[in-house]
Structure 1
C-alpha cells in the first residue's frame, strides 16, 4: 500500500452505564461500561444475541441508548443522530451502488458531505490507492471479487476521515483465504493511519488476529475485556475459556495452595499451576488442545477414541474417567491408532484454573 494525504482524527469512545431495551422488557445491552482508546482496534466478540451489534449500532447512532452516556472524544453524542457523530460504518453486505463505478461509490459520501467534485475525486483516488485498488476506479462492483468489493467499502468509509470507523461482520461473506487477506489489510490500514476502530465479529480467530483489545460479550453484558493473549491465556470463567479458541474443561480438585501456586488432582495425577486466588476444593481446569501431553508414563489414563490426520498435525479425541477431550500433536509420522491406551498429562505452561461453576 502506498502513502496518502488522508489523515486521522481518531478519537476515543466511552460508554458509561449504557443500556438498550427494546419494547418493554427485551434487554439487548445491560448497563455496560467500555473505553476504546484513540488509535486502537477493539473487537466486540460473542455469540448471536449477546448484544455486540446493538452496541456497535449505538456508537453509530443507528440505535439510541435507553440509558447511560456515550462519548466520542469529549463530546456527549448519546442523543445525537447518526449524521452528527463523525463516524463511518462498513457493513457486512458492502452496500455498494451497482450502477456506479468504483470511484463513484467511494466519492458518494464525500459529495453528499459537500466536497466539491475535484476534491472528492482526489480523495477517492487516494482512498482506492490506500486499499490496493489503484486502477480499478472505472470498474463496476459486479466486475470485482468479494474481497475487492469489501475494500471499496473500506475506502468509501476511510475517505470521510471519521473519528471512529465501525466494522459490522465485514468478512462474513468471504471465503477463508480472502478473509485472511482482507483482515490483514484492514489491520494494516488501521495501524498505518492510527484509526480508532470498533469491530464486530463472532469469529474468534478473526478477533485474535486483528485486535488490540477484545470485549467478550454474553447475555447483553461484558464477560471480560483484555488483549488477545490475556483472554486466551487467562480467561476469567468457563464461557470465555471455551469461546476464545478451543478449551477442554475438566473437573479437578485443588488439594493444596502454597503462595500463588496450587496443586491439583485428577484421578491421582497431580499438576502444579497458578492458583489465581482459588482456595482448596473443587475447581475446573481449562486446557488448550495443544497443551495436552499424550503418551508419557505419568498422567491420567485415557484411550484414543479417534485419530484424524489434517496435514500439519494429528488431531485426537481421548476418552477416560474425565469424559472426553480434544488434543493435537505435531507428530504426523508415528500417529496413535484408535483404541491405544495412553496417559494424558498437561504442559508446564498453559492450563488455567477456573472456579467450579457446577
Structure 2
C-alpha cells in the first residue's frame, strides 16, 4: 500500500483534564493521558464513562473545564476545532448524499487553496488507500455501509491530519463487515504511521485494533495497557469483567514464596503470581478459555457438573456447577461434547487465572 500520504503524526497529552457540564455533571474527572505519535489508542468503556467526551476534547468539539491538552507539543486547550489539525470519522459517516464519492472526499480540500487538479489527485489517492478508486463517481446511496465508512475514512485521510479520530466507526455495520473494516483501518494506520484515537464500547474490537487500550469508568481511567496486558493482568474486577469474559472466583492465599502464591479453591491448590497480595482471602479472574475440563473426574482438580452445554459453531460453551459457584468455560472440541449432567474434573491451564489486586 502506498505511503505517499504519510502524515505528520503527533503525540497527544492530557494533563489533569476535567470536563464538567452545567454545575455538577462530571463527564471527565482529572485524567492524565499520553498518546504516542504513530500509535492507535482506543478509549474503551461502557456508556457514560467519558470516552466520547475525551475524544471530542481532542477534536476541539468540547472545551475542557480544567487542565491542558497538547497535540504535537502545542497547547491546544483553548483552540477551536478548525485550528487543531485533526480529523474525525463519525459514527454516522456524515456523507453528503447529493455529492459523488470523490466530491465528498474532496470537500475539505476545497478550502485549502490548492489547484483543482491537485485536489482531485489527492482525493483519488485517498480513495485508492481505502480500495475505492473505481467508485469515485458513485453517490453514497449506491454504496454499501462498509463502503460508505471507507469513504468517510478517505475524506479524513486526505486532510493529512496530525491526529485521526474515530467515534464508534463500526457500530452501524454487521458483524462480518465490522471485522473486515476494522482490519482495513488498522492496516491503513500502520502503513501510514498515523496517530489514531479510536472510541468503542466493543471489547473485541478494541483488542483487535489497538496498540494501547485506555479503559474508562465513571469519568476516569481504570487501566491503561496493551491488549494482552489488560487481558492477562487486569487491574481490578471491573477491568477483568469488561475486557472479555471472566469468571471471578473467591479463593484463599495459603502461602507466599517470593512472587508466587499458592491458593486454595475449595480444596484445589494452584500456584500463580502474587501480584502484591499476601496470605488471606482473595479473588481470582479466570478466562473461560483457560479452564481445562477432564472427563476423568479423579485427580487434584475440582469436581464439577455440566449444567448447560451450548454449540455455537466454532466451539462449545459450558456452564458448570462448582463448589465455588457457577463458572463459564469454552472448549474447541465440538465433535465430542460433554453432556449436561456429566461430572468432570476442572483444572486451570498453565497460563490460567490471575489474582486481582485489592482496590
TM-score range, shorter chain: over 0.9
Match of 2:350 in 1: 348
Quote the Cα distance in structure 2 between the aligned partners of 1:283 and 1:356.
Answer: 8
Match of 2:24 in 1: 25
Would you say the 8 A contact 1:166–1:197 is kept in 2? Answer: yes
Offset of residue 4 of structure 1: 5.2
Runs (4+) off by over 3 Å: none
Quote the Cα distance in structure 1 between the aligned partners of 2:358 and 2:88.
Answer: 41
Instruction: Output one character per residue of 1:267-326: Cα deviation in whole Å (capped at 9) or x when no partner.
Output: 111100111110011111101001111125321221111001122221100012211111
Indicate the SS of the match to 2:99: coil
Would you say the 8 A contact 1:90–1:154 is kept in 2? Answer: yes
Indicate the SS of the match to 1:147: helix
Match of 2:195 in 1: 196
Would you say the 8 A contact 1:4–1:130 is kept in 2? Answer: no
Quote the Cα distance in structure 2 between the aligned partners of 1:355 and 1:227.
Answer: 18
Q: Please list, as runs of the form range in 1=range in 2, the aligned pairs for 1:77-96 lying within 5 A after superposition.
A: 77-96=76-95
Match of 2:323 in 1: 321
Match of 1:224 in 2: 223
Distance 1:356 1:338, change over 3 A: farther
Residue 249 of structure 2 corresponds to residue 253 of structure 1: no
Give aligned pairs, total: 356
Indicate the SS of the match to 1:135: helix
Quote the Cα distance in structure 2 between the aligned partners of 1:227 and 1:17.
Answer: 23
Match of 2:56 in 1: 57
Instruction: Output one character per residue of 1:138-171: Cα deviation in whole Å (capped at 9) or x when no partner.
Output: 0000000000000000000000000000000000
Would you say the 8 A contact 1:166–1:198 is kept in 2? Answer: yes
Offset of residue 356 of structure 1: 5.5
Offset of residue 355 of structure 1: 3.4
Structure 2 stretches of 5 or more lacking a match?
Answer: none
Would you say the 8 A contact 1:260–1:274 is kept in 2? Answer: yes
Offset of residue 345 of structure 1: 1.4
Q: Which moved more, 1:151-160 or 1:286-295?
A: 286-295
Q: Please list, as runs of the form range in 1=range in 2, the aligned pairs for 1:1-358 lying within 5 A after superposition.
A: 2-3=1-2, 5-295=4-294, 296=296, 297-355=299-357
Instruction: Output one character per residue of 1:324-348: Cα deviation in whole Å (capped at 9) or x when no partner.
Output: 1110112222211111122211111
Q: CA RMSD in A?
A: 1.1
TM-score (norm 2): 0.97
Would you say the 8 A contact 2:276–2:357 is kept in 1? Answer: no
Indicate the SS of the match to 2:223: strand
Would you say the 8 A contact 2:3–2:191 is kept in 1? Answer: no
Q: Which moved more, 1:268-277 or 1:290-299?
A: 290-299
Quote the Cα distance in structure 1 between the aligned partners of 2:105 and 2:214.
Answer: 31
TM-score (norm 1): 0.98
Quote the Cα distance in structure 1 between the aligned partners of 2:6 and 2:254.
Answer: 58
Distance 1:350 1:321, change over 3 A: closer
Quote the Cα distance in structure 1 between the aligned partners of 2:25 and 2:276.
Answer: 36
Offset of residue 74 of structure 1: 1.4
